[in-house]
Structure 1
Amino acid sequence: MNIEINILLVDDVEHTRELLRSILLSCINDQKININANFFHSKTGLNIPQRITDDKINLVYLDIELPTTTGLTILKDVRQSHPDLMVVMVSGESSTENVTNSIKMGANGFIVKPFNSDRVIDSLKNYIKKVYKI
């Protein structure tokens, strides 16, 4: 089976996006199935629902703290336009309020910075299980 995944990384810090991308690529390379991942980046969070449509995004990693808006606001917009899309929230602030609000608003997971590779890998595996039933 050949799986094509378009992944959008939304974070205002380039290093964070690259670290997340690196962890995901490492996980993809370790899989026993053929996964081709295309990565898309946003540092502002602007027009994310439109980017999801335009770039045919399958999976989003979304930071809560962004310079122009919040990840929770974006999550709300994404849920209205793409209710079944898998969105994993990412934040350096793992307060109970952030985690609870993210899940209540429809996030499929929450990963705390600095990244725990296992959590990132689990989120990708959850996406594969959900979509491809593998």
Structure 2
Amino acid sequence: MRRVLIVDDIPFIRSVIKDILIAGDFGVVGEASDGAQALAMYKAVKPDVVLLDINMPVLDGIETLKRIKKINKEAIIIMCSSLGDQENIVNAISLGAKDFVVKPFRKERILSALEKAIL
């Protein structure tokens, strides 16, 4: 079972993602509400995949992505963003994110992004 760390500052969004992942036979090894928590949890739980929101307090998703990649250049990270966040999405992909999922989420899109990223 692939282990996923969910990072989003909105508890409801984390809950929705968690439900989708569990239904899709992924394991959720942690949830973080900002980039600083995400970094600490990444080091502690060593997930297979990180679902990372772009817009968050403390450390945004772009900075968190950079720091996770410094810890593990092979880290598999999928960014989550709002529709109007094209510039950040392009930036995230250029920094090593494997894919992005646009909010509002569709179950099929999240699961296909995960499957594609871990192949």
TM-score scaled by structure 1?
0.80
Shift of 1:124: 2.2
**Rg larger in structure:** 1
Q: Of 4, 11, 14, which residue of structure 1 is paired with 2:11?
A: 14
Give 1:112's aligned amino acid. Answer: V
**Residue segments in structure 2 that go unaligned for 5+ positions in a row:** none
Aligned length: 119
Q: Equivalent residue for 1:25?
A: 22
- Contact 1:61–1:87, Cα closer than 8 Å, also in 2: yes
Structure 1 stretches (4+) deviating beyond 6 angstroms? none
Secondary structure of 1:79's counterpart equals: helix
Q: Whole-Å Cα distance in 2 between the matches of residues 60 and 97 of structure 1?
A: 20
The answer to whether the 8 A contact 1:94-1:112 is kept is: no
Contact kept in structure 1, 2:29 and 2:47, CA below 8 Å = no
State the SS of the aligned residue for 2:41: helix
TM-score using structure 2 length: 0.89
Give the aligned CA root-mean-square deviation in angstroms. 1.6
| 5+ long unaligned stretches in structure 1 | 29-34
Aligned mates of 1:54, 1:48 — CA distance in 2 = 10
Identity of aligned residues (%): 28
> AA paired with 2:58?
T
Note the alpha carbon deviations across 1:34-54, whole angstroms, 9 max, x for none.
x6x133001122153332121
Q: Which residue of 1 aligns with 2:44?
A: 54
Question: In the alignment, residue 11 of structure 2 is paired with which amino acid?
Answer: E
Contact kept? 2:53, 2:79, Cα under 8 Å: yes
SS in 1 for 2:52: strand
Aligned partner letter, 1:15: F
